[in-house]
Amino acid sequence: MITQRAAVAATPDDFLLSPDGMLRLDAICINLIALDEAVKGLDKITRGELLPGYPEIYWSGVMKMRNKIAHHYFEMDAEVVFKTLKEDIPMMPPLCTA
């Protein structure tokens, strides 16, 4: 769902220069928060055995992103979100992004 919403953004400005882009950015940020909650849940269910199987993913960065969005929303940088969508989300296990 995150990648579908992000597909129309070719640059970070695509989130900022139109009302539709701002709505997409809002929806993506909410989904990034949900993704973190899902990752935490999966880690708990697997008793900490899932995440170490994907060492290429900066899991603590996932959690930091969630905290940044949830607690400092008005400081959110569209470029950081865009980079996350284009570089980090594609590396996530399909289980996390479904």
Residue 72 annotated in active site = no
Calpha distance 98→85 (Å, rounded): 14
Coarse DSSP helix, strand, coil percentages of the chain, rounded to the nearest 5 percent: 75, 0, 25
Residue 66 annotated in active site = yes
Q: Is 15 helix (H, G, I), strand (E, B) or coil?
A: helix
Across 1-98, where does the E strand assignment appear?
none
Q: Pick the catalytic residue: 5, 24, 71, 72? A: 71
Q: Pick the catalytic residue: 5, 24, 47, 66? A: 66
Q: Which residues are catalytic?
A: 66, 71
